[in-house]
Amino acid sequence: MQGGIIPLHGRIKRVVLTGTKREGESSQHMKMQRKILEKIFRVVKQPVLVIALFSAVFNLHAVAAQPARADAAEAAMKMVNFTVDAKAELDMQAAAELVDYVLAKKPYSQSALPKNLEASGAYYEFDTRIDFSSFMQYAYSGQIPAVLTSPSSLRHSQWNAQKKKHEKLPDKWTPVAAGGRPFVIRGVQRDAITPDLNTGIYYEYDLNRVLIQMNHKGRQVLITISKQMDISQVGKKGLILGNDEDWNYYYSDETGSARTGLGWVKSYIYDYFSVAVYVETGSSPAVLKTGIFQWLRAGWNGINFVQSDHIITGIKRYAKNSKTVLESSDLPAPAHIARAYSRLSSLPHQDLLDKYTQLQQARLELAVQTGKINGGKLQKNNYQSVPKDQIVEELMLEYLKVALGKPSLVGRKVASAIN
């Protein structure tokens, strides 16, 4: 995944707090719930609305994940520190420990991580039926937008290579020979993420990024590291239009949440850091093993409402939809997608703007049908200020939907324009 953050996106159960003890629930657990609520009420002055948001975002009944080994979490944090300090030397021992941990057989695929920098943490691993070289060409090529391999997580993502110290992503990656030096790229990335599954809130933020390609015991490995640079923009109201697996979302550009009772919320991602390890397994047919260590601190009024289970649910959302793309027999070859991206980027700006306006208006009409968006918003909006790179990325996702046989609002028009 080229995009940095894998957002909260948790399908979290609503918890109704009453004075009645639930079946099988201890009085000690109820007391713990009340203490947590009392603490929040002292901070936030809208107790009725807090209960609604508390139920939506902070799941008291989440099942605790199996704790991960402390040495793996420590090794991941060494990689995060390497990202923050551009003058630091790469800790090869820590990198090797991470790869060995991801490859090791475990009785579980997910686990909680110790808190770091006041952020909650979690680990999740999964397999993708793709060879390492193809994965690199699809997910980390300068010729293919990141959103195409993270369609349920990213709205758009821009790698900053304008400054001299920030390097461009390669068009093609060369394998690292056994005993060869790791290939390291540093950059700054601007990410905008999709609406949360439960609250519909979406964010934008900047990341320090490091990509490390290496050879570990004869296996090709990519380690990607992200560290949020500053607090995100305030969370804004969004909607998932239909099935999340159709990758169709509405973005209102209005602060808050479209969920009933949560329109007042001014939420932020305060901090985020992540280490993802992608390693070839050597199996036949080819399988890529992925292990993601992630920490997240997000909420409102300075309170972190994120739990490990929420992070795991977000990573699972990314994993499921990334696998849908990369394992599809209908996925065009990397070179074909790169040509389509180049042709779309070269279209006159007005042509791009017309197609983008059609896409946004179609999304708005669907959003109004949900009853969560005011029908008065159906007037034409002016998208002249939207950056061209963002327009092209969002239209490229519509192109991919058509290629994979998914429904698209304007995909046919985009495909016909570039074929």
Distant-in-sequence contacts of 15-24, Cβ < 8 A, 24+ apart: 15/54, 15/55, 15/59, 15/60, 15/61, 16/55, 17/51
Ordered alpha helix ranges (H), 85-157:
92-103, 132-139
- Name the pLDDT band for 403 (thresholds 50, 70, 90): very high
> Which helix H or strand E contains 227, and what residues bound it?
strand 219-228
pLDDT of residue 10 exceeding 50, the answer is no
Q: What is the pLDDT of residue 373?
A: 79
Q: What is the pLDDT of residues 352-392, one digit of tens each?
A: 999 999 999 999 989 988 888 776 665 667 899 999 999 99
pLDDT of residue 133 exceeding 90, the answer is yes
Q: What is the pLDDT of residue 231?
A: 98
pLDDT of residue 265 exceeding 90, the answer is yes
Domain limits, CATH 3.30.530.20, in the chain = 70-327
pLDDT of residue 65 exceeding 80, the answer is no
Q: 15-27 b/e with 16+ CB inside 10 Å = b?
A: eeeeeeeeeeeee
Q: What is the pLDDT of residue 198?
A: 85
End-to-end CA separation in angstroms for the chain: 27
Give 265's strand partners.
Answer: none
Tell me the mean pLDDT in the region 107-115. Answer: 95
Tell me the mean pLDDT in the region 252-268. Answer: 91
Q: What is the pLDDT of residue 47?
A: 33
Structure tokens at 371: 């009853």
Q: What is the pLDDT of residue 164?
A: 59
pTM here? 0.85
Selected from 3.40.80.10, 3.30.530.20, 2.60.40.650, 3.20.20.60, the CATH number assigned to the domain covering 70-327 reads 3.30.530.20
pLDDT of residue 298 exceeding 60, the answer is yes
Q: What is the pLDDT of residue 42?
A: 42
Structure tokens at 365: 């009409």
Q: What is the pLDDT of residues 313-345, one digit of tens each?
A: 999 999 999 999 999 999 999 999 999 999 999
Please name which of 10, 108, 5, 6 lies closest in space to residue 65, comparing C-alpha atoms: 108
| Best mean pLDDT range from 40-44, 74-78, 194-198, 366-370 | 74-78
- Name the pLDDT band for 167 (thresholds 50, 70, 90): confident
pLDDT of residue 168 exceeding 90, the answer is no
Q: What is the pLDDT of residue 24?
A: 41
- Name the pLDDT band for 79 (thresholds 50, 70, 90): very high
- Name the pLDDT band for 26 (thresholds 50, 70, 90): very low
Q: What is the pLDDT of residue 57?
A: 46
pLDDT of residue 20 exceeding 90, the answer is no
Decide which of 376 and 3 is more confident. 376
- Name the pLDDT band for 222 (thresholds 50, 70, 90): very high
pLDDT of residue 38 exceeding 50, the answer is no
**Do residues 178 and 215 lie in contact, with contact meaning Cβ atoms separated by under 8 Å?**
yes
Tell me the mean pLDDT in the region 281-295. Answer: 96
Mean pLDDT value across the chain: 85
**Do residues 341 and 347 lie in contact, with contact meaning Cβ atoms separated by under 8 Å?**
no
Q: What is the pLDDT of residue 247?
A: 97
- Provide Rg for the chain, Cα atoms: 22
Tell me the mean pLDDT in the region 121-137. Answer: 98
Length reported for the chain: 419
Percent of the chain with pLDDT over 70: 81
pLDDT of residue 61 exceeding 50, the answer is no
- Name the pLDDT band for 161 (thresholds 50, 70, 90): low
**Do residues 230 and 270 lie in contact, with contact meaning Cβ atoms separated by under 8 Å?**
no
Percent of the chain with pLDDT over 90: 71
Q: What is the pLDDT of residue 27?
A: 47
Q: What is the pLDDT of residue 377?
A: 60
Decide which of 183 and 381 is more confident. 183
Q: What is the pLDDT of residue 414?
A: 86
